[in-house]
Amino acid sequence: MKQYSLPTGLTRRRFIGSMGGVVIGAMIADRLLADPYSPLPFEVMARRGVRVRGAVRARGRGLSGVVVSDGISAVRSEADGTFALLTDSSRPFVFLCLPSGYEIPTGPAGTASLYKPLRPNQAGEMDAVWDLAPLPVPDRSHAFLLLADPQTLDTDDVRLFHTETVPDIRSTLEELRRVPVFGVGCGDIMYDRLEHFPRYEEAVQRIGIPCFQVLGNHDVEVLAKTDEASAATFMRYFGPTYYSFDRGEIHYVVMDDVFWFGDGYIGYIDQQQLNWLEADLAHLEGGRTVVLFMHIPSFSTQHIRNGKEKPERSVVVVNRELLNRILEPYEAHLIAGHMHEIEHPVDQGVHLHVCGAVCGAWWTGPICGDGTPNGYGVFEVDGENITWRYKSTGMPIGEQMRVYPRGSDPTVPDQLIANVWDADPRWKVLWYEDGERKGEMKKRRGLDPFSVKLHRGPALPRKHPWVEPYSTDHLFTAPASRDARRIVVEATDGEGRVYRGSPATGW
């Protein structure tokens, strides 16, 4: 029988299930890979037609041209704001694509609420009305915070999220207070313990900005036998697993790329979602900027860094070529989490932002496996120009590296090492000795020395001994002199912002 790897970070966890369930799950995964267009057996269900009538309004006046969808088909509101949508009883929600210039509707907990549950009457009809509020300031300039993998397992994790992450975010928001800001919980909000969703909602309330949520592989019902059933609890709290909205000149899309097949998951976007996305983007002009939020990155270089021929099915989207083809006409940014590390690969013209984890290495300490501190992404938008920085929890946003003295890595004992965790190909990293510029540091693949110290060993870290250091490509080395009294590393990002650091002591 063909073997399937467990997801990254779960290689030492044990899953209990029948052998029959394993075989069925493997067959479904193989079928998806062989023909992603063919319907799966469990997609057949009894359906009843539903007619949804309603309106989209602001200040009592109808808004024209607003898209309302059931996740399959879509209509635009008329000049007076009214619309009529034909759907069926299998669809859980109807939702609108929020137009620019309006506040993000939220539920009682502060999470974004662009949707209405599909609840037809006995005649198979339903009313749906959205009353939108204009923003007090223009949203051409705006910002969003990307919170990947809060991944709280127990009350200790929840406490750390509330006492460390939430206050840090509130401090960051003070610096962004001149522009509208929203948040994105980019999947793995939980660590299988879905009963903690209310505690996440409490955190959103304390943060004080509307937050969108992305379905992660640890946000599903692990006892579910189908992909549809696996998202039931998530949808009860947060609504649909895919939808879109506009802020300023940017079109944002939330996607669901976690396909649960009853005994595990793969990264996969079903044909229904791809059809919806193609229709959703059809009204945009070519060249427009589109930002997609997904939990699993469409592509990762992890397998290359680990010397493997191809990636595991659980860490990339196995049918990403179909997604990339739809995104081809646009300036696309795909933002994801899942990997508990940072990287910025470009895949077939799509710029990927794989963001570091809020929980780091599953709340075992202050860093992810690649040495990136626990934290979140800060993205600022001006028109269609997007800039980004990683905000490490408990550190100033200007702290963008950790520098290690010579001898910190025994594989390169004569080298100074700088882990510049958010470096993309545009960054330039130099080093200085006693005020003299010595040159550009060389990019190197390797292990972060702090991660090795915290995570390598059969009993490390104490909470989750299966955590290991990750090989990363954002290390930089230089043959620094052992006689230098002061060494400074200077990194310049793609926007020309300059950051500096010096070797830490105690190594």
Domain boundary pick from 103, 132, 161:
132
Asked if residue 308 and residue 159 are part of one domain, the reply reads yes
pLDDT category, 273, cuts 50, 70, 90? very high
pLDDT at 12 over 80: no
Q: Does residue 108 form part of some domain?
A: yes
Asked if residue 258 and residue 116 are part of one domain, the reply reads no
Coil, strand or helix at 163 = helix
Coil, strand or helix at 189 = coil
Q: Which domain holds residue 78?
A: 49-132
Are 317 and 33 in contact, with CB atoms under 8 Å apart?
no
Q: Does residue 43 form part of some domain?
A: no
Partners of residue 397 on adjacent β-strands: none
Domain boundary pick from 132, 151, 176:
132
> What does the pLDDT look like over 466-485, one tens digit per residue?
999 999 999 999 999 999 99
> What does the pLDDT look like over 110-159, one tens digit per residue?
999 999 999 999 999 999 999 999 999 999 999 999 999 999 999 999 99
Coil, strand or helix at 154 = coil
pLDDT at 22 over 70: no
Asked if residue 231 and residue 332 are part of one domain, the reply reads yes
For 498, the token pair is 């300059």
Sorted by sequence, the CB contacts under 8 Å of residue 473 that are 6+ apart come out as 301, 305, 343, 443, 445
Asked if residue 164 and residue 289 are part of one domain, the reply reads yes
Asked if residue 412 and residue 470 are part of one domain, the reply reads yes
Q: Does residue 279 form part of some domain?
A: yes
Partners of residue 443 on adjacent β-strands: 476
Length of the chain in terms of residues written: 507
Q: Token pair 């749906």 is at which residue?
A: 128
Neighbours of 167 (CB within 10 A): 14
DSSP designation for 216: -
Asked if residue 73 and residue 108 are part of one domain, the reply reads yes
pLDDT category, 29, cuts 50, 70, 90? low
| CATH number of the domain to which 286 belongs | 3.60.21.10
Domain boundary pick from 392, 410, 438:
392
| CATH number of the domain to which 83 belongs | 2.60.40.10
> What does the pLDDT look like over 44-101, one tens digit per residue?
446 799 999 999 999 999 999 999 999 999 999 999 999 999 999 999 999 999 999 9
Which residue blocks in 239-364 are alpha helix, DSSP H? 271-281, 302-305, 320-327
**Per-residue pLDDT at 507:** 67
Asked if residue 412 and residue 387 are part of one domain, the reply reads no
Are 205 and 162 in contact, with CB atoms under 8 Å apart?
no
Asked if residue 362 and residue 334 are part of one domain, the reply reads yes
pLDDT category, 4, cuts 50, 70, 90? very low
Asked if residue 204 and residue 108 are part of one domain, the reply reads no
Asked if residue 415 and residue 388 are part of one domain, the reply reads no
Q: What is the largest CA-CA distance in the chain?
A: 85
**Per-residue pLDDT at 35:** 56
Asked if residue 251 and residue 192 are part of one domain, the reply reads yes
User: How many structural domains is the chain composed of?
Assistant: 3
